[in-house]
A and B are shown apart, each in its own frame.
Chain A
Amino acid sequence: MSMVRKVASISAALLLCAATSTAALAQKKYGPGVSDTEIKIGNIMPYSGPASAYGVIGRTEAAYFKKINDAGGINGRKINFISYDDAYSPPKAVEQARKLVESDEVLFIFNPLGTPSNSAIHKYMNAKKVPQLFVATGATKWNDPKNFPWTMGWQPNYQSETQIYAKYLLKEKPDAKIGVLFQNDDYGKDYLKGLKDGLGAKASSMIVMEESYETSEPTIDNHIVKLKASGADVFVNITTPKFAAQAIKKAGEIGWTPTQFLNNVSASVGSVIKPAGYENAQNIISAAYVKDVTDPQWHDDAGMREFLAFMERDFPEGNKLDGSTVVGYGVAQTLVQVLKQCGDDLTRENVMKQAANLKSFRTEVLLPGITINTSPTDFAPISQLQLMRFKGEKWELFGDIISADVDG
């Protein structure tokens, strides 16, 4: 080999080296809270106060991230999950969000829980351009990428659920006379709006009665009697667990047998159907998006077994029958997917970009066929549900996966 060729090859090799190293440098872009070994993530949960039952979601997520870290982290970076308590108080949520962003300097805030708390920090997070990612509330307003490009939900929103009921009604029972019972707050009204939007022009003729109740009422029996008297043959039950059980029981007692729809919020067998009485709950229709741990049909399901193994090994103190642990597990998996997609470009911009670029992603606790899809104009990750009917002592899924995308 001549001297010239040697020099040429060496310089070529050097050039190549330089090129790849600059390429590597260009790829590595870090926002606040990120280093070669760590990604700092904030979270706000009601560990104390009136909604402390949901605190288990944060603990499940912490356990899941620990599992990921023990397995080497994401692209070699460990997740540093900083979770604070806001006691479900909006002013406290603002304080904790500011602490996370300005003092702990996290990359983003993940899965903060509750509509009031998220409303309180909504404007702040968007002004600061810090992602408020996969918020744990079903309000429809989180899907508003145009005005709030830094906020994204995760679970199906309330409106899409009742839209699905409306679609079903228009197809199966177009001459229905609908009586609605709803809780008089943002949650109840969101559901009602979805129903009306879904029915479209026929809403005013099909809905014969809208009854609202306050959570302060000890019993809602009188509303059920009124709804029966209205002659409705379809009952849409938009209530939280305690009231849902009362409503189903009362309808049974007074011999009112309409086609009943029960919102997913209260679809729990243990806390709603059982107290209401199985005999009163037969053929009630509801909708679901995650697998029910108590449902025997998932006993041999790979995804469910993986979840149960996680609960046993990494979070033994958690209650696997509590639906919240399933949700916490699913949302944590979705975040890990987003961070994997980010690669070495861990800036706030790229986190939002990748969160808005989830294509047919599945966490295996979702019902078969339901996938997580987002785009720069669609900030509603899960917008599919499947209808189910109560038979005997459990829910039976039926029909196809139905999707309904609703903008905030």
Chain B
Amino acid sequence: MSALQDSVTRAPAVAAVPKGNIALGYLTSTMVVILLFAVPLFAKNFVIFQMTIWLIYAIAILALNILTGGSGQFSLGQSAFYALGAYTSAILMEHFGVNYVLTLPVAGALCFAFGFLFGLPALRLSGIYLALATFALATAMPQILKLGVFEHWTGGVQGLVVTKPDAPFGLPISQDVWLYYFTLVISIVIYVFAVNLLKSRTGRAMMAIRDNEIAASAMGVNVSLYKTLAFGISAGTTGVAGGLGAIAVQFVAPDGYTIQLAIALFLGMVVGGVGWLPGSLVGSAFIVFVPNLAEEVSKGLSGAVFGAILIVVIFLVPHGSRQVAYKIQDIVRKIRK
């Protein structure tokens, strides 16, 4: 019965986030969306490209957040799902001439199936052991992509060049601006989906598992189903992000999807705040922009500078941007009173 005692006495792996607090309020959300829609009117193409990448990583972090913040499972293997999605989109576009919009659902579905299946053996593992199993997936992926058997499709080490889509209907905007809006709309759809998912019956079941697996199963929650489902949804969403990433970067190669990416996504989630969905945007900004900032401080020591910034962030705000957001909320309330 030690397992029972363990799980009863052990602190939950992830600090619980109350259900009502997983998203921003309506007013703030609307403001953020308006701001995001307005950016291309003022920014250069390069900045718009960077923001597209930022949104794409935010989707991938959101996906990890559903898994970790929602169902309490760890994954260091998100780069593998991201790569699978990217390659699916790239191969469909370049070898089969499929429209880029249609490749995304395929990438999502394929990754969902893959994630769901991977979730089955992963059921036997929890906490750091699950993290290690997914870690293995992330390290294996670049080598699998290089395999000679797939080379005809994947392009092997050389990778695949992807054609960037033009704006449709003859809209007078550049490819970058179009891709930004396209990504933004998909991000919003996925975000709304994720918020609703976590607020739904399924989400409640997942959170019950996160907080206490045995109590959840005693209440009649099908633990294995919801755990694998969380894995599948997370993988599927990451796959869509991967597909978008391939279209935006116009290139896929095994070296782009190493374990570094998985760790970056994990880091983004922690900095953004585990279980707080809007934090994905903040976390993504951290992994996209802070390395550039660190490089400006010192070229040779950019990694060390990045590490130092990370340590400072973790010490000052261990719950990431969620903590900062709550602080601001408190202050705003006090002022209003």
Contact = CB atoms under 8 A, between A and B. Distances in A.
B194 interface: no
A186 B157 CA distance: 6
B192 interface: no
A66 interface: no
A91 B295 contact: no
Given A103-B44, A185-B156, A216-B143, A90 B302 contact: no
Interface in A2-54: 47-50
Nearest to B159: A119
Nearest to B49: A98
B169 interface: no
A87 interface: yes
Interface string A93-123: 0110011011100000000000110011011
Interface stretch (B66-74, B196-204, B243-251): B243-251
Interface stretch (B103-111, B117-125, B252-260, B317-325): B252-260
Contacts of A99: 46, 50
B251 A94 contact: yes
A185 B157 contact: yes
B255 A122 contact: no
Interface string A68-92: 0000000000000001110111110
User: Main secondary structure on chain B at its contact with chain A?
Assistant: helix
Contacts of B143: 214, 216
Interface residues of B, number: 31
A95 B253 contact: no
B255 A90 contact: yes
Interface in A121-140: 122-124
B159 A94 contact: no
Contact of A95 (B53, B148, B156, B255): B53
B159 A90 contact: yes
Contacts of A184: 146, 148
A194 B249 CA distance: 31
Given A89-B255, A89-B260, A90-B253, A122 B161 contact: yes
Given A47-B300, A49-B260, A102-B45, A90 B249 contact: yes
Given A186-B158, A216-B143, A119 B251 contact: yes
B152 interface: no
- A-side interface size class: 20 to 34
Contacts of A85: 291, 295, 299, 302
Contact of B253 (A48, A103, A116, A124): A116
A116 B159 contact: yes
B303 interface: yes
A186 B146 CA distance: 10
A51 to B, nearest CB: 9
B47 interface: yes
Interface string B130-163: 0000000000000100101000000011110100
23 contacts: A48-B302, A50-B258, A85-B291, A87-B260, A90-B249, A90-B251, A90-B253, A91-B249, A91-B256, A98-B46, A99-B50, A102-B46, A102-B49, A103-B44, A103-B46, A119-B161, A120-B253, A123-B250, A124-B250, A185-B146, A185-B157, A186-B156, A214-B143
**4 smallest beta-carbon distances between A and B, as pairs:** A102-B46, A120-B251, A185-B157, A90-B256
Given A91-B249, A119-B159, A186-B156, 17 more contacts: A48-B303, A85-B295, A89-B256, A89-B258, A90-B249, A90-B252, A91-B53, A91-B256, A95-B49, A95-B50, A95-B53, A98-B49, A103-B44, A115-B157, A116-B157, A116-B253, A184-B148
Interface of A: 47-50, 55, 59, 83-85, 87-91, 94-95, 98-99, 101-103, 115-116, 119-120, 122-124, 184-187, 214, 216
